[in-house]
Amino acid sequence: MSIRSILAPVDGASDNRAIVENALELARTFNAHVDVLHVRPDARDAVPLFGEGLSGDMVEEMITSAEREGAAKAAELKAMVEKLCQSRDVPMVTGPGGGEDSITATWRETIGREDELVAWRGRLSDLVVSARPGEDSSPMRALTMHAALFECGRPVLALPVNPNVGEMGRVIAIAWNGTAQSARAVHAAMPLITRAYEVNVLTCESTRTEPTAGDELAEYLGWWGVTPKVVNFPPGPEGAGASLLAHAHDLNADMLVSGAYSHSRLMQTVMGGVTSALMDTADIPVLFSH
């Protein structure tokens, strides 16, 4: 089991360099390929928003200006990716054929809706790497991350806001409650789990989680040659999500593995939940799977 293809969407925000660098770091671990995708919005889609009361010439001028700005942003992003790959001796290729013992990258640029196209390309990848929405990220970032989680059928590595760059997955914490989503997350993270120096199973006590759940996962991981530490804890006053993060920090974890949205998104949004808490506050990378 390994990771061979990583999708890294970029939207022109200040964190894009760190997103690509982290994707390349992961790719080097597995001699994998990084597909850097930039989706330019179709300027004509905004016509209904600003076209009323304007002449046809004014609308066309605004569309042309928006297209020009979009092309300039894409050129800057492409140059950034090419420079990063050059500095890291990563060949940029147009398709497979580099062999299984080399890391490669591709620049991919298209026009459309970012969430739809990331979901489409994500289905053809082993992992999607992005970052939680920041102040200057695309307004589509949150929608894109949710589309990646719900429509790709692939795990999503959500980097924190203003992500650091460096090796991750040396100390892994697994948020385990026995749900199908957490099982998928563990399976998706297995290439990282089996390489980690230390693995911890974190189980928040609740009426829906069996007391032996953490020990049962530890037994399963044992068949993979992994001997994790099992930590059971009650939810704190700020909820299970905050408690998970606090215990992950206590263990010096540099990655958290978690299922995503075992309850509906509406319930998570209205009533809160672990996934929403991690999406809002996690300051370490979280590998999610739905």
Q: What is the pLDDT of residues 52-83, one digit of tens each?
A: 555 666 667 667 776 788 788 999 999 999 99
Q: What is the CATH number of domain 5-159?
A: 3.40.50.620
Confidence at residue 188, expressed as pLDDT on a 0 to 100 scale: 96
* CATH of the domain spanning 171-289: 3.40.50.620
Over pLDDT 90: what percentage of the chain? Answer: 61
Are the folds of 5-159 and 171-289 the same? yes
Domain ranges of the chain: 5-159, 171-289
What's residue 99's pLDDT? 58
Distance CA 234, CA 182 (A): 18
> In the prediction, which pLDDT does 65 show?
73
Please tell me the predicted confidence (pLDDT) of residue 271: 33
Q: What is the pLDDT of residues 102-147, one digit of tens each?
A: 899 999 999 999 999 999 999 999 999 999 887 787 788 889 999 9
In 3D, which of 114, 181, 118, 190 has the Cα closest to residue 152? 118
Residue spans of the chain under pLDDT 50:
51, 264-272
From the number of C-beta atoms within 10 Å of its C-beta (0-12, 13-18, 19+), residue 202 rates as: buried
